Each structure stands twice: as C-alpha cells, then as structure tokens.
Amino acid sequence: MPANLTPQYMDAEKRFKQASSVEEKISALEEMMATIPKHKGTEKLQADLKKKMSVLRKESDQHKKSGVRRDTFVVEKEGARQLALVGAPNSGKSQLVRSLTHATPEVADYPYTTRTPIPGMMIFDNVRLQLVDLPPISPEYTESWVGQIIRNADAVLWIFDLSDDDILDTLEETCTFLAGAKIDLQNMKVLMVGNKKDAPGAGERAAIVREAYPDKFPITEISAAFSTPAELEAFKKVVYDFLDIVKVYTKAPGKKPDFSDPYVVPRGSTVLNVAEKVHRDFLQNLKYARIWGEGKADGIMVPRDFVISDGDVLELHE
C-alpha cells in the first residue's frame, strides 16, 4: 500500500533533515508523527519515527542530566484545591482547561503541544479550584518532572479520548507510567473524564472503560470543545462533588456575610475545623457559634463539634 505522504509531512521531514539541534529534530519529528497518514502502508514508517523520537528524547535527557540544563517546574497551589490533568497525547486536556478557566494553553491537532505546566482557575459556586494542564503521558516520552506535580496535587483528573479505538491500551500505558513514577492512584482522589463524548462510537467506548475499571474511580464524560455553558457548569459541579468538600461563609456579629470568598473544608468538618482556618487562636478561645443554613433555624447556637453543611454561614464567638 502506498504511503501517500501529505505535503505537511514532507515539509516536516525536510525540517528534520536540516535541523542542527536535538530540540529542532524533536519538534520536526512530532509534526511528522502528527501528519503522517495512519494506515497499514505507513506502519513501518510510524514505528521508525517513534524509535527516532525515543532516541532523541533520551539524548535530550542525557544533556540535561550532564549539567547543561535541567528543566523542573513547581506549581504553587492556589484556590481551595489543586487538580492535575493527566492523559495521553491529544486527549483534550488543554481544551478542557481553556473551556473551564481563563487560562489559554495552546490547543492543536498534533501531540506534545503542552510542554510546561499551565495552571488555570476554575470557579464553581464561589469556590476556586486550580486546574494544572500537564504535558501528555506517552510511551515515546514523558517529561521527567510530570510525576512530581501529580504527586503534589490534591486530586487527579484523568482525561481519556472517547474517539480512540485503542482506548484500553492507551489507559494501560498511562497506568504503566504512573506506576513507574511511584504514583499510587489507589491512594489519590482520581476522577476519570471521558472527553469527546460527541465522537462517533463514544458511548460504546465509554461503556468499555466502565467495564474495565469497575468501581475503581468515578467516571464522567464531556465534550470539552463543544459543551454549552450549562454543560460546563454541570461538569464543574461533578468535579466539586467528587472532591467531597464543603464551602462555609463567616460573618461578624451584626454584619452581613461575605459570600464572595468562602472557606473550604472536607465534608464532615466541624465548626472548630472552620474556626481554625479563620484564625488559630480560635482553637483555644472559641466558645460557640451561631449558624445559618438550609434546614436550620436562623442564628441557632451550635457547639464547637457541630458538623457543618455546604453553604452554611457561621458567626464565631470567643
């Protein structure tokens, strides 16, 4: 079968042959891998490209380890929780971050568009949640620092592509990398997100994933590129509920509460847990609180160990 290589592929191949640095060669190879027609006539060529990519990535790592330069990144936590977006190339992580936040990561139809961590703030019901877009996880190459950012995050959004015919193999490749990076998903909060639910056959692939991962992690679906504002808000609520947190507002006696900046605590927290976040002196000095909330008498007095609910308003008394 003829390869029928595209003009874009031929241009990238020309740049690869003319490249003088490892980074330029890697960039050209990435475009070649993205633009090569996917059929039996190019299977050997695809395998050769992946092999060249692996060799060049290892060479690049060796240069960094030798002291020439070693990239490392730390993303300072902001908001109530930090969520790391994990997934294979072209799973749609960057598009999801663009749709849910004001961040503007590059979105393209070729892999490895994201090279550095890109944080964005998702806001749901006054609660700020930090999403961190990461470079993709791939057998060919994954940035060495990605594992550390995942380990430091409060939770993981595991994005997978519902248009991928090899979806289970791709998920297994991600699992293999995470295990090698000493990331134990069973001990982390993980929400699996099937992206591109509008793709042909997406429903069948989603069912396959649910069958392969029964009861391991909660699974939801979205189309990051084509969701309506209402659908995006519904997805935000799914993420918020998955985190198992509650928001609480505080007020000073005789004043109105500030509903723009709630305190966020794990579900099941008490009045004292919230008071400690307000000021550590409350640990010793808090006597009681008054509370306003759904199903409660306005301003009723409650003890320090009273379990608060989502959206409650607390008036703390020393």
What DSSP assignment string belongs to 146-168? HHHHHHHSSEEEEEEETT-TTHH
Say whether 203 sits in a helix, a strand or coil: helix
Q: Would you state the pLDDT for residue 80?
A: 93
As a whole number of angstroms, the distance between CA 177 and CA 32 comes to 24
Residue matched to tokens 């503007």:
104
CA separation (Å) from 160 to 89, 91, 131, 222, 280?
A: 9, 5, 16, 10, 42
- 93, 190: one domain: yes
Question: Residue 76 domain-assigned?
Answer: no
The amino acid sitting at 70 is: R
- Are 231 and 110 contained in the same domain? yes
Over residues 91-127, the pLDDT tens digits come to 999 899 999 988 766 555 544 455 678 899 999 999 9
Residues 148 and 254 in one domain: no
In this structure, the answer to whether residues 117 and 136 fall within a common structural domain is: yes
Q: Are 27 and 137 in the same domain?
A: no
Query: Average pLDDT, whole number, for the chain?
Result: 85
Q: Which two tokens stand for residue 55?
A: 């060799």
Domain annotation covers residue 137 = yes
Helix, strand, coil content of the chain in percent (nearest 5)? 40, 20, 40
Six-digit token string for 268? 């099941």
Tell whether 45 and 119 lie within a shared domain. Answer: no
Picking from 88, 248, 72, 215, the residue whose alpha carbon sits closest to that of residue 152 is 72
Does residue 1 belong to any structural domain of this protein? no
Residue 115 lies in a domain: yes
- Cα separation of 113 and 216, whole Å? 30
pLDDT of 230: 96
Final residue before a domain boundary, out of 243, 266, 284: 243
Residues 95 and 231 in one domain: yes
Number of domains in the chain: 3
* Residue 34 included in any domain: yes
Amino acid 103: pLDDT? 77
- Find the CATH number of the domain harbouring 214: 3.40.50.300
CB distance 125 to 82 below 8 Å: no
Residue 23 lies in a domain: yes
Domain carrying residue 185:
81-243
Is the whole model's pTM more than 0.85, yes or no? no
Residue 136 lies in a domain: yes
Q: Where a domain ends, among 186, 217, 243?
A: 243
Asked whether residue 106 falls in the same domain as residue 192, the answer is yes
- Distance between CA 296 and CA 229 in Å, rounded? 33
Within this chain, do residues 253 and 154 fall inside the same structural domain, yes or no? no
Residue 93 lies in a domain: yes
pLDDT < 50 stretches in the chain = 1, 68-70, 110-112
pLDDT tens digit sequence for 49-103: 888 888 777 766 665 555 544 456 778 888 999 999 999 988 999 899 999 988 7
- Residue 283 belongs to domain with CATH number: 3.10.20.30
Q: Looking at the structure, do residues 212 and 148 belong to the same domain, yes or no?
A: yes
Checking DSSP bridges between strand 288-292 and strand 263-266, what pairing results, if any? unpaired
Write down which residue in 182, 209, 243 finishes a domain: 243
Query: DSSP alpha helices (H): ranges in 153-265?
Result: 167-180, 202-212, 229-243
Question: Are residues 48 and 129 part of one domain?
Answer: no
Please return the burial class of 292, using the count of CB atoms within 10 Å of its CB with bins 0-12, 13-18 and 19+: middle
Amino acid found at 49: L
Q: Where are the alpha helices (DSSP H) in the chain?
A: 7-18, 22-35, 43-65, 93-100, 146-152, 167-180, 202-212, 229-243, 271-278, 282-285
Residue in the structure block whose two tokens are 């976040």: 277
Residues 122 and 161 in one domain: yes
With contact defined as beta carbons under 8 Å apart, do 301 and 289 qualify? yes
